[in-house]
């Protein structure tokens, strides 16, 4: 059968990739989260500066957002900049902080036309004002859109998120606004940055790495993972379709039989 040729690891040789029609004939994951990894290695392989890889990766964000929207994905969360990424060289960090301006400056009109709503999760206080303004403008300009939610994880770290949630819960218990016996996993989720969106159904990580890198540790408890050796700048719509097709072939038991 042809389905046996469509392997989870997305290797191209002897693989027949699914089409949009193939994946749209079955339930589409409502929330897809992507750890976009490999920009620097992509550039190094070509003897280019690392920022060239980040710029190329930005083009991929545009294409994958369009495809996800066309497929009917409800939420696309992209790990754009982690709380640990501040450790990178200053020049690289400064360039990464300019990318949202460049990306949204050129892509925002299309996002508005395509009914996409921009959101952000992360700590905005440490982000440069020019970056923050670009994201805030996109969020305001798309707030009434009802289609795909394009959720940027920017200056985001899951441990930081969970720590802040615990502190807020503790403060509410101490003040008497929250009875201690009401604390459960559903309530904790309400204190997280993703309180208004569903947990991811599918996590994609590129570049051959097999770790979560402090990304949505609470929310990914029952998420299906899909890894590929493809570097993010080389990630195409076909890889996205492969990941969704593999997701559709899995049986999610949530701890049951």
Q: Are strands 31-35 and 75-82 parallel, antiparallel or unpaired?
A: parallel
Catalytic residue among 22, 85, 160, 234: 85
Rounded to a whole number of angstroms, the CA Rg of the chain reads 19
141 is catalytic: no
Query: Measured between alpha carbons, how far is 248 from 36 in angstroms, rounded to an integer?
Result: 22
**Torsion sign over Cα 118, 123, 125, 131:** negative
Please give the distance of CA 165 from its chain centroid, rounded to a whole number: 21
Examine the residue annotation and report whether 198 is marked as an active-site residue of this protein.
Answer: no
Are the beta carbons of 229 and 210 closer than 8 angstroms?
A: no
- Catalytic residue of the set 9, 10, 14, 37: 37
Cα–Cα distance measured from residue 65 to residue 67, given in angstroms and rounded to the nearest whole number = 5
Structure tokens, 37: 């990894």
- Residues marked as catalytic: 37, 85
């Amino acid at each position: 059968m042809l389905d046996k040729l469509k392997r989870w690891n997305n290797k191209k040789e002897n693989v027949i990739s699914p089409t949009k029609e193939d994946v749209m004939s079955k339930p589409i994951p409502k929330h897809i989260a992507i750890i976009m990894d490999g920009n620097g290695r992509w550039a190094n392989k070509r003897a280019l500066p690392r920022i060239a890889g980040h710029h190329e990766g930005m083009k991929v964000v545009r294409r994958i957002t369009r495809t996800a929207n066309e497929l009917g994905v409800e939420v696309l969360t992209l790990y754009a900049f982690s709380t640990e990424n501040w450790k990178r060289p200053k020049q690289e960090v400064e360039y990464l902080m300019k990318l949202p301006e460049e990306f949204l400056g050129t892509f925002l009109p299309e996002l508005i036309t395509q009914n996409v709503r921009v959101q952000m999760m992360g700590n905005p206080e440490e982000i440069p004002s020019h970056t923050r303004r670009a994201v805030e403008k996109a969020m305001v300009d798309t707030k009434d859109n009802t289609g795909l939610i394009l959720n940027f994880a920017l200056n985001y770290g899951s441990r930081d998120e969970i720590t802040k949630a615990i502190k807020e819960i503790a403060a509410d218990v101490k003040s008497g606004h929250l009875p201690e016996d009401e604390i459960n996993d559903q309530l904790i989720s309400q204190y997280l940055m993703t309180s208004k969106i569903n947990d991811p159904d599918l996590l994609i990580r590129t570049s051959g790495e097999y770790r979560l890198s402090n990304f949505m540790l609470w929310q990914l408890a029952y998420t299906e993972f899909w890894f590929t050796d493809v570097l993010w700048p080389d990630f195409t719509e076909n890889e996205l379709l492969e990941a969704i097709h593999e997701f559709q072939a899995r049986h999610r038991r949530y701890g049951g039989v």
